[in-house]
Chain A
Amino acid sequence: MDQKYVHIISTIVEHKPGVLYTVSNLFRRRGFNIDSISVGSTEESGIARMTIMVTGDNRTIEQVIKQLNKLIDVLKVTRLDPENIVTRELALIKVTATSTKARSDIINYADIFRARVVDVCTESLMMEITGTSDKIDAFITLMKPFGVKEVARTGITSLSRGPKSVKIDE
């Protein structure tokens, strides 16, 4: 059995209904569990970028990339080099904060992690944090003792460093 790795795949796709289904279905069919997927528009209208994080062996990921390339609505597929990319994820975290002590502790931690408090009420605080997935994991772990009520994470989005860009071949 080949060793498993985390892969980050950046795809440029037609921005139209059904594309997400087609792409995610292909991963399911070839036996890949998608760790996260994020979709959003790009610098060009009519085109969306999907950033997909998956874990699997190299041979299967090669196959998935080739199969993705065959989909008509997929315009470009690139496997990003994890050493040479900027990767970000955003999370919203709602934490129980009833005592003043808890409140100030939470805000202190938030400061250290550069998280922003985006909603305050008497029983809870909501923070917004951006960063790598590891950083978000660490922050959530710190918040656990206070009582994490809800977490919403976007999944990662990535671009490779330097001037080069993932563009559609003409």
Chain B
Amino acid sequence: MAKMTGAQALLESLKREKVEVMFGISGGALLPIHDVLCDSEIRHILARHEQGAAHMADGYARASGTAGVCMATSGPGATNIVTGLANAYLDSSPVIALTGQVPTYSANTSYMIGRDAFQEADIIGITTPITKYNVQVKHASEIPNAVKSAFYIATTGRPGPALVDLPKDTQTVKAEMDFSDNVQIRGYKPNTDPHPLQIKKAVNLLLNAERPMVLAGGGVNLSGASPELLQIAELLMMPVATTFMGKSCFPENHPLSMGNIGMHGTMLANKMILEADVLLAVGTRFQDRSTGTLNGFCPDAKIIHIDVDAAEIGKNVDVEVPIVGDAKPTLTMINQRLVKKVKKQKNGPWVKQVQAAKEKYLSELDLGSGDLTSPKLLKELRRLLPEQAIIATEVGQNQMWAALHFQTIKPRTFISSGGLGTMGFGFPAAIGAKVACPECPVVDIAGDGSFRMTEQELGTSVTEDIPVIVIVLNNSMLGMVAQWQRLFYQKRYAAVKLGNVPDFAKLAQAYGAEGVHIESLTEFSAVIKNALKTEVTTVIDVPISPDDDVFPMVPPGKGLKDTVGGL
């Protein structure tokens, strides 16, 4: 036990959680914390908008596999992180938000919270449906336990965001603090070890399969189960498709990789998955964007569904073998059993069929006409970047082109807002990822519409010296919306034309970053090579046609079998 202020206890707790960095913006209700932060070793990165700070923490978490921390003051500061938390919640990302709050009491009233004080917002009420856990501290002495619980809950089981609301007086009051290590949360006992009987059933099903296939979701990335997945896939010669969130968990340059399934999945994955007779689905929630309409999804497949969250099993599809467990230990156990039963499989008829389909797919792949198309640029980018480089994306066509045409090789190298589809996520997330992995080049694939939403974080990137590359695929349009209007609303373009402002190269220069406008792939390569060498924040403005569509596509209300290459 030690006597100290709440603010000191907070910083001590963060240190014990091994927090090295946090992202945020200060304000009245945080002043006592920032005062202590002055003497702390924890780096505070000053964002330009709290939404940016929350996305940075999210990008940090996704790249590092540990919790990312953001901090915002009471009222508007706290409400500004709401989008960031909703985004982290839907993509199961362990973001810890610390919010200032008005004091629990003040000099002239016995109680201040709940009286609509200056900059008071009910952030607990607001964030309850979009956090895994949230808590308002009532006394300074509760801070160590609140922080410990938040980190424990956010990072274990199925990860998710947690929020600790800190009334200003709890930051200044001195109390005896208990930092003892055991967290007792009686309502939270994540179950990560699978049931051995279910493992046995899964193995039997896999051994008797003729056309087995893997569907790997974000859970494989989150649990770090890529090596185990690779082992199983190679042992049984199973083709692997990924969901959007699963991208990067299986090397896409591997012969067994099929790419993503889904609304903008590859033609190959969307067709082949329908052929499977046994589907090993790991860490995926069978979201509608992945499966298309459910009738007709994998009509012949018996499904083995592994997920750490019991609520995901049986939610959207009926499964043959449900396994509640963390992907890594579960796949390890399946592997151990499999290697006792079979030798490494050879290329049977199924693998040959898959490989033929893959060759055909690759030979027919349409990268668009003209020298400077988004698919061609993304292929070139892959060639220029090292394997461990991290790609973040914004939302829209840019995101789907990146998923389709940028081959990811290492786990956790593709960071994108899958669940919420948050425009403006990619750039701050890229900054967070760069902080987590300073040795890796980090590139944000952006649309001009999305970049406009959080472009002010150029200020953070430059002043804090966190160099990232932003590639703006500039069609002066809200491109994805325009695509839908083109395809499904008789080209009646409404509220999608952004105009040719700003000049992104000049905008970057105004912030002290490198800003370049390019007109060809050759110029593009030169700029990327230079940016990789100089390690300076660089914005590359790439003009693309406003008429380009992202294909293939599963039209809304259709199934994967209806995937079309063009409409």
Contact = CB atoms under 8 A, between A and B. Distances in A.
Interface of A: 14, 18, 21-22, 25, 29, 62-63, 66-67, 69-75, 168-169
Contacts of B315: 63, 66
Contacts of B348: none
B310 A25 contact: no
Interface in B299-326: 309-311, 314-315
Interface of B: 124-125, 128-129, 132-133, 153, 185-189, 309-311, 314-315
B311 A63 contact: yes
A73 B187 CA distance: 6
A75 B187 contact: yes
10 nearest A-B pairs in the assembled complex, by CB-CB distance: A66-B311, A72-B187, A75-B187, A72-B188, A72-B133, A67-B311, A73-B187, A66-B310, A22-B128, A74-B187
Nearest to B157: A70
A62 B310 CA distance: 11
B124 A18 contact: yes
A75 B309 CA distance: 16
Contacts, number: 33
19 contacts: A14-B187, A21-B125, A21-B128, A22-B128, A25-B128, A25-B129, A62-B314, A63-B315, A69-B310, A69-B311, A70-B309, A70-B311, A71-B187, A72-B133, A72-B188, A73-B187, A74-B187, A75-B186, A168-B186
Contacts of A67: 311
A21 B128 CA distance: 9
A69 B191 CA distance: 12
Nearest to A46: B186
Nearest to A14: B187
A14 B310 CA distance: 22
A72 B153 contact: yes
Nearest to A26: B129
Contacts of A21: 125, 128
B240 to A, nearest CB: 28
A18 B315 CA distance: 27
A139 B190 CA distance: 48
Nearest to A169: B189
Contacts of B153: 72
Contacts of A74: 187
A62 B315 CA distance: 9
Contact of B128 (A18, A66, A169): A18
B187 A29 contact: no
A73 B310 CA distance: 17
Contacts of A169: 189
Nearest to A73: B187
Contacts of B125: 21
A134 to B, nearest CB: 33
B185 A72 contact: yes
B280 to A, nearest CB: 22
Nearest to B313: A66
Given A72-B185, A72-B188, A168-B186, A29 B310 contact: no
A73 B153 CA distance: 12
B129 A29 contact: yes
A168 B185 CA distance: 12
A83 B425 CA distance: 52
A22 B129 CA distance: 8
